[in-house]
Amino acid sequence: MLRLLNEHHDGTVRVVGAGHSWNPGIETPDALVDLRHLRHVRVHEGRTRVTVGAGCRIGALLKHLTRRGLTLPSIGLIDRQTVAGAVATGTHGSGRHSMSHYVQSMRIACYGANGDARVLTVDSGPMLRAARCSVGALGVVLEVTLACVPQYYVRERCAWRPGLDAVLEKERDAPLQQFYLVPHAWRYLAQERSAAEENRRRGGRGSLPRVLADHDRRAPPCVTEVLRLAAAQPSPGAPRVSAHSAPVHLPPVARHRPQRPSASHAS
């Protein structure tokens, strides 16, 4: 990588991940770097940190972690992005925190003050904050070290909320929640989610089908259908939410493979 950077010192080097972010930032007439083969995964002693190659897809990382009973603190709806691409754009996971919040250090190939290419380790201060959402501007991210946690269950309760404030108020109790502003109804459908220690299933008024059925009586069916589709996107490696019960407690992340998931972990 350093040789490549030195060779293209006067050109325009760009990096592409999985290409999920359509933007001119990855266009170049010069050198476009694709790190898909840089995808090693190493869980650190103590099992609270994992170092991963920049080109590793999030789904592949989750599979590695699952085999060790671990997962990421926050997982989004789509897991096809590369780890570096998701971090470079601050792609969010479930709830308030994005994957970037859990980045502890990064190795970045960039130019030093004398113009030569070098590898920089960034692990604290303003540089780390900048690297957590650098959109490729700091250099070529080679490796990322993230926090990892033991697998957990996710409890979900769905509810209609009248406004954004009402949704955000719930964030303390449901830090993994996702929500939608529903067109025409001008109210919010919140999937209030939090981590749970055990797997329990209970039917109830807070289940997604019951809440959507309530919406059916008030809004055009197409709106409900869009919500249903949005909530049903499968994401391998992420915990699923059962359609039949709520609050619902899920099997550990990435172990559960329901045949017809009705909703996935938030994005």
Q: Strands 187-196 and 153-161, how do they pair? A: antiparallel
**Alpha-carbon span 195 to 202, nearest angstrom:** 16
What residues pair up with 109 in beta bridges, in sequence order? 119, 140
Residue 68's closest CA among 43, 51, 39, 99?
43
Q: How far is the CB of 157 from ligand FAD (least distance, A)?
A: 21
By beta-carbon proximity to ligand FAD, the closer residue of 93 and 247 is 93
Q: How far is the CB of 154 from ligand FAD (least distance, A)?
A: 16
Q: DSSP assignment of 178-221, as one string?
A: EEEEETTTTEEEEEEEEEESS--B---TTSHHHHHHHHHTTS-H
By beta-carbon proximity to ligand FAD, the closer residue of 241 and 247 is 241
Residues that bind ligand FAD (CB under 6 A): 14-21, 25-26, 35, 54, 76-78, 81-82, 84-86, 88-89, 91-92, 135-136, 140-141, 267
Sign of torsion, CA 25 28 32 34?
Answer: positive
**Alpha-carbon span 63 to 52, nearest angstrom:** 13
By beta-carbon proximity to ligand FAD, the closer residue of 100 and 151 is 100
Q: How far is the CB of 34 from ligand FAD (least distance, A)?
A: 9
By beta-carbon proximity to ligand FAD, the closer residue of 245 and 264 is 264
By beta-carbon proximity to ligand FAD, the closer residue of 66 and 233 is 233
Q: How far is the CB of 193 from ligand FAD (least distance, A)?
A: 14
Q: How far is the CB of 14 from ligand FAD (least distance, A)?
A: 6
CA angle 16/37/142 to nearest 5° reads 60
